[in-house]
Chain A
Amino acid sequence: MKKRKWFKLVSVLLAAVVIGTGCQGQAGNEQGEGKQSSTVQIDFWAAPNPTQQAFWKKMADRYMEEHKHVKIKVSPMPESPSSEAGIQSAIAAGNAPVLSENISRGFAAQLAESRAIVPMDQFDGFDDLLRKRQMETTISTWKFADGHQYVLPIYSNAMLFGWRIDLLKELGYNEPPKTYSEVLEVGKKLKEKYPDKFLWARADLAKPTWWARWFDFFMLYNAASNGTHFIDGNKLSADRDAGVKTLQFFADLSKNQLVLTRETKDPFENGTSVMVDLGPWTFPYWAEKFPEMKFNETYVLSMPPVPDGMDPAQAKTFADTKGLVIYASATKEQQQAAFDFVKWVYSDPQNDLEWLKETNLPPARDDLSTNEAFVSYFEENPQLKLYAENIPNALPPMDNAQMVEIQELIGKQALNPVVKGEKTPEKAWKDMEKAIDGVLK
């Protein structure tokens, strides 16, 4: 009898564990389905930083007050080991949200190729949203090779170069150089006066780190090529002449010992280097750690330099930009409700102003520097004005699912060996083309 009792007890315990686990998921689904008839539930993953979460929480609360049938749950996206990996795992496990922000165009390309996200332009009112938010020019560069828009850009950091104007003035310049030969001339004078200083301190120039290419190669390539797409669909479409000129510029900087490719702590701030690739996220850091960094006194900003003979006023740059996507695993009703929420947020420029104040990240709007709603903010923060003005001149990352591999090859085959003096720009470009073609075939 005792044996039977034990057997029964173990069986009941195991059954309880198994059934309990199964029922938990089922109950969750039933609950979700039940709610669909009356309330639409939207899980929204915000970027894993407090300011962005606070903004979206506020927006969701306001929206829910006006739209009682929608329930939006804002939570930070998991970032273990990265936010992309967190999303990947969630999709694999069937726990993807309905809507998330913090998606780059490159990662969106990977998601779109796997049909994990839906095109935004398929929703009713998409064109109306673009018009209301004044973002038609900015989003035009986001169009994917299949003609769809999978991401709605939230913010766009048109990457600029910072220049130490105090040091430039010591060298006899009142403004930053705008062409390659002007930059090299500044470098020459810098070395004559300060042999220990460098034009640009950037350890990543010697590393194949894929994302680092956004902040060196693509800033200069986009400027030199007038924004010619590097990849078009599944084809390398880069402007060869502009690419070789860009690499030649890096080679010249390196040959003249104007770049420092060693790990250096705050080189621009402490005057070890005169120029730096600069995004607006740096300013809060400076305000806290380097209050002596004052716009127009210590530093100024400029678009990337261009090859000689090009008009610097027409220069393009790289856009460090991320946006919103809607996931394919959500129901049609949830997808439409998520889009309606997004449209509601971006129909009022005051919400973009609130975002700007909260995060310091420039909203992806064509009219950011001209819209009355933002004027007073830019008067108080003049260092952000040039970022706002150049949003339409900034190109987002490529829309190819092999972006990581391609950008790694730009480093390995072209930029790194050119900076190290191991290859000529022509050979480096040729090797890079061959390697990328191998990946794209």
Chain B
Amino acid sequence: MNKHTAKVGWLLASPYLIYSAIFFLIPLFWALYLAFTNWNLISPEYETVGVQNFIDALFSPSVRAAFWVTYKFMLMFVPIVIAGSLILALIIHHLPRWKGLFAVGYFLPYLASGVASAIVVKGVISYNSPFNQFLRDVFGLDIDWLGSPTLAALVIVLMMAWKFVGYYALLFLSGLESIPKEVYEAAEIDGAVGWKRVWHVTIPMLYPSFYTVTILAVGLMFGIFTEPYVLTGGGPEYATHTWQLEIYNQAFEKLNAGYGTAVAIINSIVTFASIFIFRKLLEKWGGRHGWE
């Protein structure tokens, strides 16, 4: 590449670079500064407090709860959403016709507003809903869906899985479509049919899709806000208290913007570290099947 071409490249990239500088880079440095202050964003006076915000955050029960709740959600959500989206993708893949129609149909929940979906779910599991009335009348089951820590977390996870299964199924579907027929034919000659074929051929060949979906799903767990905000407010007893709820409560409800920013920075470090670990684990698994 000569210097002239390089300059054209810089020129063409400059709108995005300027945009990124204004909306990402400057806010990032600003956030780093803010995290070391006790500013509430509105007072003309504030002090730098060193690493106090970070120390307070590390010893805060609500931050610790957000940390563990994220992994609890991850433990439930990732297997459910991967299994669900893979099964869905396999079903659509084997449809004789209208694959596109079904793929788009299952993708629709992803486009639904989180608030609207949460309100619908709240209605479905409310005490006097037909669903709960049915459980009480027929099975004698009186379930407090949002009052039990485990069930409340499960409701949120299932709701999110419903929303994302269609989207992730599309990623798996594109992976399935790209597996060459020859690979299956060769496997068949070697005696791999039925479940053996799925287990030993399809799944390893879907490694790039697994990689993408897993990283997306893991990353998603660190950004949950709307569902617990509408359904549980983070309760009961912090069972559904997420990082984003904690940041929102601190920065916008309690006006502790400096502290809230410190929590956001810790959240981004934990997110980065978790995704890094998952990447390494996935790459190890992929390496065993010949993916570099």
Contact = CB atoms under 8 A, between A and B. Distances in A.
A14 B146 contact: no
B42 A265 contact: no
Given A262-B146, A264-B126, A267-B127, 11 more contacts: A10-B11, A13-B14, A81-B248, A88-B255, A91-B41, A114-B44, A206-B235, A207-B232, A263-B127, A402-B254, A404-B253
Contacts of B41: 88-89, 91-92
Interface string B231-273: 0110110000000000010011111010000000000000000
Contacts of B236: 206-207
A90 B61 CA distance: 31
B123 A265 contact: yes
B72 interface: no
B18 A17 contact: yes
B252 A116 contact: no
A67 to B, nearest CB: 30
B3 interface: yes
A141 interface: no
A376 B275 CA distance: 66
Interface stretch (A1-9, A70-78, A295-303): A1-9
A84 interface: yes
Interface string A75-114: 0000001101100110110000000000000000011011
B252 A264 contact: no
B147 A262 contact: yes
A116 B14 contact: no
A254 to B, nearest CB: 13
Contacts, number: 93
B235 A208 contact: yes
A294 B197 CA distance: 67
30 contacts: A2-B4, A3-B3, A10-B10, A10-B11, A13-B11, A14-B14, A17-B18, A84-B252, A84-B253, A85-B252, A88-B40, A88-B42, A88-B255, A88-B257, A89-B41, A91-B41, A110-B255, A114-B40, A114-B42, A114-B43, A115-B43, A206-B147, A207-B233, A207-B236, A262-B144, A262-B147, A263-B125, A263-B145, A264-B127, A405-B254
A3 B252 contact: no
A9 B127 contact: no
A437 B208 CA distance: 56
Contact of B42 (A111, A206, A207, A261): A111
B128 interface: yes
Contact of B126 (A88, A208, A262, A402): A262
A214 interface: no
